[in-house]
Amino acid sequence: MKRLLLAALTICLAFSLAACMGPNSQEAIQQSDRLLISSGFDAIPANTPARMKHLESMPQHRILHLVRGGKDYYLWADAANGQCLWVGTWQDYQRFKQLAWDMYNQGGQDRLDYMDGWSSGPVDWDMWGPW
């Protein structure tokens, strides 16, 4: 039951700072980057035209769940600002949820969007290298 409640709360949250800040403000972006780094996510630069095109096609600034090679990965696309794809494991995502929840309880975090079952369509994920 606790897991279900935590999952429901996590899904209800979207990544933006409260009240006066929009989700794409510079401070909100820096906050997102700090959370992702602290959680163990790796930033993979969109340093080719193919990567950038793919990154821009993804839902932005929300956690995406992807199974690749039989393993669960959690992604965060940032095409406009960091121009990178953040990639984390299940453990990284668990740390991320806890840190986001802690920030929310301290009044510094508004919401966190999560998309399970997100489908990227036919994509050559190998262009992003090994994870």
Task: Tell me the per-residue pLDDT of 37-49, one tens digit each, with 9 for 90 and over.
Answer: 999 999 999 999 9
Tell the residue number behind the tokens 């929310």, with chain if given.
104
Per-residue model confidence as pLDDT tens digits over 63-89: 999 888 899 999 999 998 889 999 999
- Percent of the chain with pLDDT strictly greater than 90: 39
Is 7's pLDDT higher than 70? Answer: no
CA 131, CA 118: separation in Å to the nearest integer? 19
pTM of the prediction? 0.68
Q: Which of 2-16, 24-38, 117-131 has the highest mean pLDDT?
A: 24-38
CA 4, CA 84: separation in Å to the nearest integer? 31
Q: What's residue 79's pLDDT?
A: 93
